Structure 1
Amino acid sequence: MTRFVVTGTDTGIGKTIFSAALAQATGAPYWKPIQSGLEEETDSETVARLAGVPVRPETYRLITPASPHRAAEIDNVNIDVETLAPPPGEFIVEGAGGALVPVTRTTLYADLFARWQIPVIVCARTALGTINHSLLTIEALRARGVPIHGLAFLGDAAEDSEAIISGISGVRRLGRLPIIDPLNGETLAEAFKANFALRDFA
């Protein structure tokens, strides 16, 4: 059964595009519990446009483009973490930013992941700095007992960085999604098929 949480080593690295590719390839519905920033296309709208899969509405839609804890304070919204329970069955759940982004002033996304106990896919960019960011993310997740399914790299090939992150952490490489231009449903599907094995997500 396709049931994963997608997190990242940083914000703006392409984990929504990976989430869309995985949802499209598996047919699994998508859910982003909290969306911060509504002026541009939201992550849910991006996934719906690219993947064409069912998208569950966000539990919290925050106007301010900031970390959820701060956006909620500015928007005068109280985030109740008890309402952030993933739906049953197949689903791709995407966090916001990195694994240690605060949901509230006392709860991080990694804390939610530990509570959910759903296998996590760590999306890591391939640019300079990714070794440190990736290993720190993996250590933070493991310290909380979060199950890690694998690593998905995003960007241009960086074989040495990808290999050493996987080698030191012991987390398997699932594949690498290259920069896709033009980006649409068809090109996304082609890129995922060429760079990932669907059996690794069964």
Structure 2
Amino acid sequence: MIGCFVTGTDTGAGKTLASCALLQALAQHHGRVVGMKAVAAGAEPDSQGHWANEDTLALRAASTLAVPPALDNPVLLPDPMSPHIAAQRAGVEVTLAPILDAYRQLAAQADAVVVEGAGGWLVPLSETLSIADLAVALQLPVVLVVGLKLGCLNHAMLTANAIRASGLPLAGWIASRVDPDMLVPEENMDWLRRKLGAPLLADLPWQAEPDPRNAQFTLPKEWQ
């Protein structure tokens, strides 16, 4: 079973678009692929009248394996804000055990699981837990989504260093062109290629209406 954890340089870096594109790329080699939004903050009624998160719905649409909501989104918080605050407002505490149990059940059914984080690497889930703690508990290789905009070089290097310091491998990175007016994006891309020390898996173009089908992926050989 192939698994990876997708994190980003910041909120709005394009993690969900990248995760969906990654799922579609994996589906070309594996029959049963599924996305997991481990912790989602922000919910709206779906077409069946149930509460769901927008990112989770996108991951489900890109997956080939349908699973119960408790597995692909074990923690759903109503308010669209930092998860630790959303959890406090909802009167709950985010803990690792139910998330890890849901992941194990997904891994038992799927050929590939893509777990999307929330916000950036050190976003708090509670007073004692962060997204980084969740990734370490899952023991998955990490894919870093770099939102290409002014400041991304610093954000990308800090995040890559923190990922490696946690003991997890940086399996690759995805460029996400979130700012169509960014100056000298290619020069920034060239610098990241030289300095991140991990393969570029995809270069996601800026799109007024993001569509993961427009992504061209280079999957690591061990994921094919």
Distance 1:119 1:166 in 2: 19
Residue in structure 2 matched with residue 105 of structure 1 by the alignment:
127
Deviation at 1:158, TM superposition (A): 1.9
TM-score norm. by structure 2 comes to 0.79
- Determine which of 151, 156, 164 is the counterpart of 1:134: 156
Deviation at 1:161, TM superposition (A): 1.4
RMSD over aligned CA atoms reads 2.1
- Determine which of 163, 170, 174 is the counterpart of 1:152: 174
Where do 5+ consecutive residues of structure 1 fail to align? none
1:1-202 → structure 2 map (5 Å cutoff): 1-27=1-27, 28-39=33-44, 42-49=54-61, 51-54=62-65, 56=67, 57=69, 58-85=73-100, 86-87=103-104, 88=107, 89=110, 90-155=112-177, 158-184=185-211, 188-189=212-213, 191-192=214-215, 195-198=216-219, 200=221, 201-202=223-224
Deviations 1:52-81 (A, max 9, x none): 533552111101111111110011012122
Where do 5+ consecutive residues of structure 2 fail to align? 28-32, 46-52
Identical-residue share of aligned pairs (%): 33
- The code of the aligned residue for 2:153 comes to I
Change in Cα spacing, 1:55 to 1:69, as seen in structure 2 (3 Å) is: farther
- What secondary structure sits across from 2:94 in the alignment? coil
- The code of the aligned residue for 2:40 comes to Q
> Is 2:24–2:63's contact at 8 Å kept on the other side of the alignment?
yes
Deviation at 1:181, TM superposition (A): 4.4
Deviation at 1:199, TM superposition (A): 5.0
- The code of the aligned residue for 2:12 comes to G
Deviations 1:123-169 (A, max 9, x none): 00111110000001011111111111011000158222122223223
- What secondary structure sits across from 1:100 in the alignment? coil
Alignment length (residue pairs): 195
